[in-house]
Amino acid sequence: MANELIKNLVRDFIDIQKLNPLDRPERINDLFTRLNFLGKIEDFNWVRDIYEEIHVKDRGGKTALMWYDLDTKVEEIYTYQDLLIRANKLINFLKSSGIGKGDPVYLMTPVFPEQWVTFLATIKAGFVLVPTANNLTAYELGYRFADLKPKVIIADPKSAERIDQALGDLKPLKIVVRGRVNGWTDFELTQSESESAEAYPTSSEDDILNYFTSGTTGLPKRVIHTATSYPLGHLSTASIIGVSTEDIHLNLSAPGWAKFAWSSFFSPLIVGATIMAVNYEGRLNAQEYLSVVDNFNVTSFCAPPTAWRLFNLVDLWKFKFHKLRNVVSAGEPLNPEIIKVWKDKFDLTIRDFYGQTETTAIIGNPPWRDVTPGSFGIPSPLYDVVLLDDEGKEITKPFDVGHIAIRLTKWRAIPLFKGYSNEEKNKEAFRNGYYFTGDKGYFDDKGNWYFVARADDVIKTSDYRVGPFEVESALIEHPAVAEAAVVGSPDPVRWQLVKAFVVLKPGYSPSYELAKELVNHVSKSLSPYKVPRKIEFVNELPKTISGKIRRNELRKLEEDRYKKGEKSENEYTF
């Protein structure tokens, strides 16, 4: 019965997304209200009940994925039926290899079609998918494997070497995609299995997705999502993006991050759209990427603020974008001047939205609402979003800054994650009937919400989250470093740069050479986006009476210097 109700809700949502945007809000509110009070959901499998029962049945021959490699110019096309068949074959291979419900499957590849196949296979079979960024080092992988031991790893050849270094004595099933590596099974061998596969009867209590995300203290936290939190929860994301069945939707996001699941997988597949996927290596070539948007008639396009800023540096007059109607941004606030450029040149309004790995889209500018420059929009009715003061009391007065939180007492939002694997982290996040996002903001007298800053010390740089503890730990391993504190330093392109304040041991003196040595030292352990771009040598660090580093003081110092255009004598930028 619940399955039929959910299927009908999703069918209604698909129909709503086809309407003129101005005709959607009331029906979206009603649908989300019904979804909010479904309660515990038993025997629901999103691949079986939505992807197969609705989309494959109604549009199995429709193109689900158009994949294009920007470097090789190779293009591949997969229908809804194609992806399902490949996913079923992978399921049967894994099951015959002894993989069962709840077993962790790490996925670490570039933007390859096998990403979508593996997502479908793991959700349908009831495995636990662990999307993993393919720029992680062996050190970072080792931490993840210690926290959650892999039963299966699916990776590209370039990632395989680092994975083998990190595994130690662990012996998971290893499958390599688009290449060959000794000791690894070729992914194509999995495709000799049967085209049909059984779906596991998952429920809203069953885990299907785990993500590792940076926190203020300690190493990355493991975020646990269920068979309903992302698969149904991303109705909020799809509604804010405005994607519909007829769209060709492109999301510029690297696999391994929640944003990829948000906008490259769930949102377009919920409504039966066509996904455009672009793979490239190295730095983003803005000119070539925008050419794909233009040449492939992309109608809906999502990119992080860093990319939008880069796009504005190319000659935009070369592009027509005749088909493009939805343009959205997420990650951190987008500069109003960038929004103005796209409005003036193409009559397209870039709409900002906000959410976390722990959630789906919480707040955003839906297509039926005029964008207020600087605002990331209004709360989705799928969430009960509130603003809290430092004492935990709800703020009702416009323009008062507070903690962005989700109230759980009226209903527990379906999209909200199940929790962290670490119970101490859960106690910090879930308090007094609220989930604290860790972000601060305010709303104006018209109901528009604005992002102010992280409430904690997590750094937001180029759409990545960086926990200071990881970087500080790597720095302290260098023989010259006595103490280190890492904060975000304001930057016009990346929002923040990773900056390290370093106290040296006796016998060492500040110099460019030593700063460069520290940068190189950190780069051996951590991913490139975590490596400090600024090093400042100081005599001491500000601390509390109990000896904790006051990163907030250092962050405030950086913000004041940025406004004045100043820098320290012993500061070096890379």
Whether 339 contacts 214, CB under 8 Å: no
* C-beta atoms surrounding 469 within 10 Å: 17
pLDDT exceeds cutoff 80 at 2 = no
* CA–CA separation, 312 and 520 (whole Å): 31
User: Residues 383-392: pLDDT tens digits?
Assistant: 999 999 999 9
Query: What is the helix (H) or strand (E) element at residue 309, kind and residue range?
Result: helix 305-311
* C-beta atoms surrounding 383 within 10 Å: 25
Q: End-to-end CA distance of the chain, in Å? A: 59
DSSP-based helix, strand, coil % in the chain, nearest 5: 35, 25, 40
Query: Phi and psi dihedrals of 460, rounded to 5?
Result: -105, 110
User: Residues 257-296: pLDDT tens digits?
Assistant: 999 999 999 999 999 999 999 999 988 999 999 999 999 9
Confidence of residue 216 (pLDDT cuts 50, 70, 90): low
* CA–CA separation, 63 and 260 (whole Å): 19
pLDDT exceeds cutoff 80 at 331 = no
Q: What local confidence, expressed as pLDDT, does residue 337 receive?
A: 78
Confidence of residue 544 (pLDDT cuts 50, 70, 90): low
Confidence of residue 218 (pLDDT cuts 50, 70, 90): low
* CA–CA separation, 185 and 340 (whole Å): 50
The lowest-confidence range among 8-17, 64-73, 337-346, 381-390 is 337-346
Largest interatomic CA distance in the chain: 73
| Domains of the chain, start order | 80-232 (3.40.50.980), 459-573 (3.30.300.30)
CA distances (Å), 55 to each of 10, 26, 59, 113, 498, in order? 11, 25, 5, 18, 44
**Shortest CA distance to 387 belongs to which of 432, 429, 437?**
437
User: Residues 483-499: pLDDT tens digits?
Assistant: 899 999 998 888 899 99
Q: What local confidence, expressed as pLDDT, does residue 230 receive?
A: 97
Under DSSP, the state recorded for 110 is S
Whether 446 contacts 437, CB under 8 Å: no
* C-beta atoms surrounding 312 within 10 Å: 15
Q: What's the mean per-residue pLDDT of the chain?
A: 93
What is the pLDDT averaged over residues 456-463? 79
Confidence of residue 304 (pLDDT cuts 50, 70, 90): confident
Q: CA torsion angle for 305, 306, 312, 313 (degrees, to 10)?
A: 170
Please give the sequence-ordered ranges of beta strands (E in DSSP) within 253-343, or none if there are none: 274-279, 300-303, 326-330
* CA–CA separation, 265 and 262 (whole Å): 6
* CA–CA separation, 485 and 549 (whole Å): 7
Choice between 224 and 565, residue whose per-residue pLDDT is larger: 224
Whether 385 contacts 405, CB under 8 Å: yes
* C-beta atoms surrounding 36 within 10 Å: 17
38-42, 85-89, 131-135: which is most confident:
85-89
* CA–CA separation, 82 and 78 (whole Å): 6
Q: What local confidence, expressed as pLDDT, does residue 217 receive?
A: 58
**Parallel, antiparallel, or unpaired for β 459-461 and 464-466?**
antiparallel
pLDDT exceeds cutoff 90 at 569 = no
Q: What local confidence, expressed as pLDDT, does residue 545 receive?
A: 58
CA distances (Å), 256 to each of 132, 164, 173, 241, in order? 4, 18, 19, 21
Query: Phi and psi dihedrals of 176, rounded to 5?
Result: -105, 140
* CA–CA separation, 501 and 488 (whole Å): 11
Q: What local confidence, expressed as pLDDT, does residue 497 receive?
A: 94
**Shortest CA distance to 207 belongs to which of 98, 145, 147, 125?**
125
User: Residues 98-154: pLDDT tens digits?
Assistant: 999 999 999 999 999 999 999 999 999 999 999 999 989 999 999 999 999 999 999
**480, two tokens:** 């010259």
Whether 31 contacts 9, CB under 8 Å: yes
**Which residues lie closer than 8 Å to 243 by C-beta, 6 or more apart?**
17, 249, 267, 268, 271, 273, 300, 326
| Chain position carrying tokens 């759980």 | 408
Q: What local confidence, expressed as pLDDT, does residue 427 receive?
A: 95
What percent of the chain lies above the pLDDT cut of 90? Answer: 78
Q: What local confidence, expressed as pLDDT, does residue 126 receive?
A: 98
Whether 231 contacts 17, CB under 8 Å: no
* CA–CA separation, 2 and 537 (whole Å): 61
Whether 488 contacts 555, CB under 8 Å: yes
* CA–CA separation, 207 and 130 (whole Å): 11
What is the pLDDT averaged over residues 173-187? 97
Q: What local confidence, expressed as pLDDT, does residue 38 receive?
A: 86
* CA–CA separation, 386 and 488 (whole Å): 26
Under DSSP, the state recorded for 198 is P
Q: What local confidence, expressed as pLDDT, does residue 515 receive?
A: 96
Compute the chain's Rg from CA coordinates.
23
